């Protein structure tokens, strides 16, 4: 399978080629949809608060793609990105924050623990891509939710995501072909395969070990590009802990199903009940 290359890509050498194979580029192309996430946050926030949000906190921000996208949306938007990993933050500053010019000054990077980071009060906070599942003990996750709640301004909203379904606790691999990836500067990423690998699941304590692998053009493989040692948290557990942490109420949003296309319809709707499909992804929202 040969990806169509632009003239710019055909001339790419050295560092450009390395960027096309960089694990952060591949991850962003496979996993992240910053515009969709921010549009969903805006829809829910406006539904409850009748206004847009301007101050945003991205916990476990990684490369800060979400924060960079947020500040580009409006001249008054300010984002705080928190992560412990210095090299990943540096990569994000080079490839996402720096190119924004003056707007990049409205992304504040904080290399710190999300539990203790000193961040001004914000309108919206989030922890996406199941990153908060790194907290395996109930008391620890409760402490994290309390820290987020304390960092939200009056009327603030907290967003996390979660996955589940009939297959969610099984060992196994799922492959997905990625054909529309772009580098931070807009170049086409040659088609590649994203592999989600659920390596182990412990039914006694819900420990789950997962990896992300990539298969690139020409047969090159990047094995265990990312590894996640998590606890699998269920929706009722997450919602109960949010309430215990001081949130006034919680909501769950899940996608519908398109029978004709035989796939999810991509629209996250507020749910009171939902059938347990083979797999699903949900947003859990904490309201103050």
Domain stops at, among 230, 249, 264: 230
Based on the domain organization, do 254 and 201 belong to the same domain?
no
Based on the domain organization, do 160 and 175 belong to the same domain?
no
235-244 helix and 138-150 helix, angle to the nearest 10 degrees: 50
| Residue 149 included in any domain | yes
Instruction: Write the DSSP string, 72-106.
Output: HH-TT-EEEEEES-HHHHHHHIIIIIGGGGGGGGG
Closest CA to 92 of 75, 107, 77: 107
Based on the domain organization, do 178 and 61 belong to the same domain?
no
pLDDT digits (tens, 9 = 90+) for 213-232: 999 988 899 999 999 999 99
Q: Tell me what pLDDT residue 262 has.
A: 62
Give the C-alpha separation, 7 to 169, whole Å: 45
| Residue 212 included in any domain | yes
Strands 152-164 and 172-178: what pairing? unpaired
Residues whose CB falls within 8 Å of the CB of residue 105, separated by 6 or more in sequence, listed in order: none
Closest CA to 287 of 256, 228, 245: 245
The structure's pTM equals 0.92
Based on the domain organization, do 146 and 226 belong to the same domain?
no
**Which residues span the domain enclosing 189?**
7-13+166-230
Give the C-alpha separation, 288 to 285, whole Å: 10
Helical residues (DSSP H) of the chain, grouped into ranges = 7-10, 15-20, 23-31, 34-49, 65-73, 86-92, 138-150, 235-244
Q: Is 134 exposed, middle or buried (0-12, 13-18, 19+ CB in 10 A)?
A: middle
| Residue 34 included in any domain | yes
Let me know: does 31 contact 103? Beta carbons within 8 Å: no
Based on the domain organization, do 224 and 246 belong to the same domain?
no
| Residue 21 included in any domain | no
Among positive and negative, which fits the CA dihedral 36, 41, 42, 44? positive
Based on the domain organization, do 128 and 170 belong to the same domain?
no
Q: CA 101, 107, 111, 115: dihedral to nearest 10 degrees?
A: -170
Residue 145 has pLDDT above 60, yes or no: yes
Domain stops at, among 230, 248, 267: 230
| Residue 24 included in any domain | no
Based on the domain organization, do 52 and 136 belong to the same domain?
yes
CATH code, domain with 108: 3.40.50.150
Based on the domain organization, do 40 and 155 belong to the same domain?
yes
| Residue 20 included in any domain | no
Let me know: does 81 contact 89? Beta carbons within 8 Å: yes
**Number of independent structural domains in the chain:** 2
| Residue 268 included in any domain | yes
Q: Tell me what pLDDT residue 265 has.
A: 77
Q: Confidence band (pLDDT; 50, 70, 90) for 14?
A: very low
Give the C-alpha separation, 83 to 88, whole Å: 9
Residues whose CB falls within 8 Å of the CB of residue 10, separated by 6 or more in sequence, listed in order: none
- 3-class DSSP assignment, residue 1: coil
Instruction: Write the DSSP string, 133-157.
Output: GG--SHHHHHHHHHHHHHTEEEEEE
Domain stops at, among 188, 205, 230: 230
Residue 6 has pLDDT above 50, yes or no: no
Based on the domain organization, do 202 and 246 belong to the same domain?
no
Q: Tell me what pLDDT residue 21 has.
A: 87
Based on the domain organization, do 157 and 171 belong to the same domain?
no
In Å, how far from its chain's centre is CA 185? 20
DSSP 8-class letter at 6: -
Based on the domain organization, do 147 and 253 belong to the same domain?
yes
pLDDT digits (tens, 9 = 90+) for 23-80: 999 999 999 999 999 999 999 999 999 999 999 999 999 999 999 999 999 999 999 9
| Residue 23 included in any domain | no
Q: Tell me what pLDDT residue 12 has.
A: 46
Residue 11 has pLDDT above 60, yes or no: no
Closest CA to 29 of 37, 20, 38: 20
Based on the domain organization, do 189 and 107 belong to the same domain?
no
């Amino acid at each position: 399978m040969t990806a169509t290359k632009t003239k710019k890509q055909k001339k790419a050498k050295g560092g450009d080629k390395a960027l096309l194979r960089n694990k952060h580029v591949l991850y962003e192309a496979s996993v992240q949809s910053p515009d969709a996430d921010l549009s969903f946050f805006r829809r829910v926030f406006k539904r409850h608060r009748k206004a847009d949000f301007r101050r945003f906190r991205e916990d476990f921000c990684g490369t800060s793609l979400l924060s960079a996208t947020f500040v580009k949306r409006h001249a008054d938007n300010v984002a705080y990105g928190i992560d412990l990993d210095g090299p990943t933050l540096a990569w994000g500053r080079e490839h996402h924050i720096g190119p924004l010019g003056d707007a990049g000054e409205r992304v504040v990077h904080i290399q710190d623990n999300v539990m203790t980071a000193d961040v001004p009060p914000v309108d919206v906070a989030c922890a996406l891509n199941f990153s908060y599942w790194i907290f395996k003990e109930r008391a620890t996750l409760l402490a994290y939710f309390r820290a987020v709640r304390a960092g939200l301004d009056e009327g603030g909203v907290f967003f996390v995501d979660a996955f589940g379904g009939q297959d969610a606790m099984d060992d196994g691999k799922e492959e997905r072909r990625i054909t529309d990836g772009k580098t931070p500067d807009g170049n086409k990423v040659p088609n590649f395969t994203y592999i989600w690998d659920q390596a182990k699941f412990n039914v006694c304590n819900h420990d789950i070990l997962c990896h992300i692998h990539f298969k690139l053009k020409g047969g090159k493989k990047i094995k265990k590009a990312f590894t996640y040692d998590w606890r699998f948290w269920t929706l009722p557990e997450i919602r109960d802990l949010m309430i215990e942490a001081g949130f006034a109420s919680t909501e769950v949003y899940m996608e519908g199903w398109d029978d004709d296309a035989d796939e999810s319809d991509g629209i996250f709707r507020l749910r009171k009940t939902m059938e347990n499909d083979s797999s699903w992804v949900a947003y859990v929202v904490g309201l103050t």
